[in-house]
């Protein structure tokens, strides 16, 4: 039995590698940026800006999707986004807990 392997164009591999590297760099530097921003800005304000920027960046993709996909995205994305927002809001309060044994993360 023989298998047919199709080799993708090399420029696509380079593009995907560069995209992965860019995402890793942005993800990694976001922790330092967030720590620095929280020294000057309140937590909830920072979260509002962060979620707002994400919403604005993803909105064009949502609007271009078919109606069924829009409904599905909103039906799953809004509750999950709410849970993530709640987690980010509760986390600073947990960090203020005096006993390290009481911190779940």
pLDDT at residue 26 in the model: 87
**Which distant-in-sequence residues (6+ apart) come within 8 Å of 85 by Cβ?**
47, 51
pLDDT at residue 42 in the model: 86
pLDDT at residue 13 in the model: 72
- pLDDT tens string, the chain, 105 residues long: the values are 567 677 766 666 788 889 899 999 988 888 788 888 888 888 888 888 888 998 899 899 999 999 999 999 999 999 998 998 888 888 777 666 666 665 555
pLDDT at residue 94 in the model: 67
> Are the CB atoms for 37 and 46 separated by under 8 Å?
yes
**Distance separating alpha carbons of residues 76 and 33, to the nearest angstrom:** 29
Number of Cβ within 10 Å of residue 50's Cβ equals 15
pTM, whole model, 2 decimals? 0.59
**Distance separating alpha carbons of residues 12 and 81, to the nearest angstrom:** 32
| Cβ-based burial of 46 (10 A; exposed 0-12, middle 13-18, buried ≥19) | middle
């Amino acid at each position: 039995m023989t298998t047919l392997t199709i080799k993708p164009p090399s420029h696509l591999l380079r593009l995907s590698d560069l995209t992965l590297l860019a995402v890793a760099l942005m993800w990694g530097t976001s922790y330092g940026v967030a720590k620095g921003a929280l020294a000057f800005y309140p937590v909830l304000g920072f979260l509002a800006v962060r979620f707002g920027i994400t919403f604005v960046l993803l909105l064009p993709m949502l609007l271009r999707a078919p109606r069924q996909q829009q409904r599905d995205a909103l039906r799953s994305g809004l509750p999950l986004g709410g849970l993530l927002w709640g987690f980010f809001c509760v986390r600073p309060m947990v960090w203020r807990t005096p006993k390290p044994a009481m911190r779940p993360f």
